[in-house]
Structure 1
Amino acid sequence: MIKQNIIVILTILLCMGCNSAQNSKDAESLQKARLCLYNGEASTLFFIAEQQGFFLKHGIDAEIALYPTGRDAINAMLNGDGHFSVSTEFVVVKKTFSRTDFKILASVTDADINNASTKISSGVFAKKSSGISKPSDLKGKNIATNIDTITEFLCGVFLEQNGMAYTDANVLNIAPNERINFVNNPDFDAFFVWETSIFNIFKPQTDKLNYFPMPSSMPFHFILVVDEKYHRENPEVSVKILKSLYDAEEWAQNNYEELKQLVKERFNLSDDYAVNALKRHKLIINFPYTLPRAMENQITWLSRYKHYGADEIINFSTLFDTAPLKRVKPSSVTIIE
């Protein structure tokens, strides 16, 4: 009996040793990737991939770092704090005037600030105390937004849609952590908003604010960018990241209630606002033909108001790398190359 017990114990210890060795081997085989993400609904596929184990499934040890804006996310990546980043195409367009050592791999969310099916419309909240009762009263006023992000561009489009030029108002930067205190900040007369959560904060303050919605729809993309040197040295990691996100996309399509709960809890939204957020963000991995056109429109707008010279404008196609996505989801690549 004692001999049998010893054999059993030795067998258990041997199995434990084998499992430990296998786990160690599995851990060593994982490829590390640091992801610098905009901390918003547009990054939901990454949160799903992490929560559901899709990164691990495809051999990626993903470390997620969150940033208040896409501008901060891509800057962190380019400063050496990450390998991949997510931001809107406008952030990337503006970044090309100073850096081009990155590649665009895919759009990870198609967004529309004024999706017709939602109850929430993006636009400008203006202080009644600043004498603003209609959009044209914004002329000469200080409008808070996040410079170098999509909100700067959308604010400019809002002004143009209301018969004004970007330069007719004073569009000023506001730090992300100061946005919720905009009403009490004497430096600003108005604030352009498109995020569901921020809209939720200001909308009830009808005693202090007038609200002017964006007159028409404005679709845009959140895109996945990779550091060029890292991508060149680790091309398979880019493919594995895209495979993980594709799995997340399919999960999102088949698990709506769980998806809504994930968005609701992560961003502290009510059921209604979570539903609206998902309507305004199409969680899909693609490389659409609309992306180059959107970037060209944005560079035209920047050239008009920011006085960039023609010699500073690059050919965006040199930044596109569609090969990884073609290996994962070829039908989703629709740009003309």
Structure 2
Amino acid sequence: MKHGISRYLLVGAMTLAALNAGLANAAEKIRLAQNLAPISGLVIIAKEKGLFDKHGLDVTVSNFTSGRQALETVLGGGADIATTAEAPITAAALARQKISLLARMVYSDDKTLVSKASGINTPADLKGKRIAYTAGTGGEIYTLTLLKKAGLTRNDVTLVNLRPQDMVSALATNSIDAYNTWEPHIVNGKKALGDKVKEIDTRGVYAETFNLVVPQDYLAKNGKTVAAFLQAVLEAERFLKANRDESIAVIATATGMKKEELAPIWNDYIFDLVLDDLTLNTLKNHAQWRLDSGNAPTGATIPDFNDIIFAAPLKQVAPERVKIKGL
């Protein structure tokens, strides 16, 4: 009988130890809010290729059509990490919200699609036209920068605030003459409207960055988890650069595009998980634009971006990727 009791006790102890080990090794849960577009390609690859799982992370993804929506979801407590452009980041910084920019993932030019019937062939031809853009995003900065380079002001055009996914139908129904946004909404417009539309040359006007952002209190409590997340994204970058065709296929499928639609614009995306001067200068220039244009809270000043850019997690996994002096 004593031996039977001892056996049961031993089995019980082993079961408890196994349960404890399982709990200790349980995947860390992270809620990712992402703009479902190729510009979020690195986290899409990390999710689809199991790289988050490899690093002990259980990542639940919520998809949005803009980085602004993604960051707002994080700030509202609905997610932990956002993929977002510089526009929502500077808006949050000027409003003194406690955010942490972990790294830039990619940058890519915004573009302009126009109706051929509008007679728009160059940016200068936008005068007097109805132009759609998305307020509070990099698309707004692109629009105003484009007008300035063309010698125009917002008073020379009619600006229409639309979600990116609503722009194609607005152009199709002649509610607007042109729209300014990021991919894949330009290629979607070309696919839907065919020879009724064309893209005008605006290369170099504005390159939108896309970044990883978390609340500061989340980072303070989950430093190891964030570092593991970045390690997975870094491996996704390596996979993407070594496997072009497969990466195009994975991202096209995830974003609802066809491979033959994404392939021609693939080189428009410069994928690099990094903190560098481009990241910092883009934030500074964007914040200054907000102040100059009145798109900032009353009394706001240029923030100290050293209080917003948190380099420690990226330094932990890839110190050579932190290229901003003083971080």
- Alignment TM class, shorter chain as reference: 0.7 to 0.9
Contact 2:93 2:99 in 1 (8 A): no
Supply the RMSD in Å over aligned alpha carbons.
2.8
**Structure 2: distance between partners of 1:33 and 1:262:** 22
Secondary structure of 1:29's counterpart equals coil
Q: Percent same amino acid at aligned positions?
A: 24
Question: After superposition, what is the alpha-carbon deviation per residue over 1:193-243, rounded to whole angstroms, capped at 9, x for unaligned?
Answer: 331443342378476446432153533321100111111111111111101
Matched, 1:260 2:248: yes
**Structure 1: distance between partners of 2:264 and 2:321:** 25
Contact 2:92 2:99 in 1 (8 A): no
**Structure 2: distance between partners of 1:171 and 1:234:** 42
Matched, 1:75 2:72: yes
Displacement of 1:326 in angstroms is 0.4
Q: CA 1:205/1:256 → structure 2, altered by over 3 Å: closer, same or farther?
A: closer
**Structure 2: distance between partners of 1:253 and 1:280:** 14
**Structure 2: distance between partners of 1:89 and 1:24:** 42
Specify which of 211, 227, 248 is matched with residue 239 of structure 1: 227
Aligned to 2:8: none
TM-score, with length taken from structure 2: 0.84
Secondary structure of 2:204's counterpart equals coil
Question: After superposition, what is the alpha-carbon deviation per residue over 1:173-211, rounded to whole angstroms, capped at 9, x for unaligned?
Answer: 112332220124454332113314433423784764464
**Structure 2: distance between partners of 1:232 and 1:175:** 34
Aligned runs of 1:1-337 on 2, under 5 Å?
25=22, 29-109=26-106, 111-113=107-109, 122-126=111-115, 128=117, 132=120, 135-185=123-173, 187-202=175-190, 205=193, 208-209=196-197, 211-214=199-202, 216-306=204-294, 308=296, 311-337=300-326
Contact 1:132 1:210 in 2 (8 A): no
Instruction: Name the stretch that deviates more: 189-198 or 320-329.
Output: 189-198
Contact 1:124 1:213 in 2 (8 A): no
Displacement of 1:88 in angstroms is 0.8
Q: Give the counterpart letter for 1:193 in structure 2.
A: T
Contact 2:33 2:64 in 1 (8 A): yes
Q: CA 1:222/1:35 → structure 2, altered by over 3 Å: closer, same or farther?
A: same
Instruction: Name the stretch that deviates more: 306-315 or 238-247.
Output: 306-315
Displacement of 1:71 in angstroms is 0.6
Q: Give the counterpart letter for 1:190 in structure 2.
A: A
Secondary structure of 2:218's counterpart equals helix
Contact 1:126 1:191 in 2 (8 A): no
Instruction: Name the stretch that deviates more: 87-96 or 179-188.
Output: 179-188
**Structure 1: distance between partners of 2:203 and 2:235:** 36
**Structure 1: distance between partners of 2:243 and 2:200:** 35
Question: After superposition, what is the alpha-carbon deviation per residue over 1:240-290, rounded to whole angstroms, capped at 9, x for unaligned?
Answer: 110111111122122222112112322343444322332111222111121
Aligned to 2:3: none
Displacement of 1:335 in angstroms is 0.8
Contact 2:131 2:177 in 1 (8 A): yes
Q: Give the counterpart letter for 1:282 in structure 2.
A: I
- Structure 2, unaligned stretches of length 5 or more? 1-10
Secondary structure of 1:62's counterpart equals strand
**Structure 2: distance between partners of 1:65 and 1:105:** 19
**Structure 2: distance between partners of 1:207 and 1:240:** 47
Contact 1:54 1:247 in 2 (8 A): yes
**Structure 2: distance between partners of 1:302 and 1:69:** 19
Total equivalences in the alignment? 312
TM-score, with length taken from structure 1: 0.82
**Structure 1: distance between partners of 2:259 and 2:194:** 22
**Structure 1: distance between partners of 2:101 and 2:316:** 15
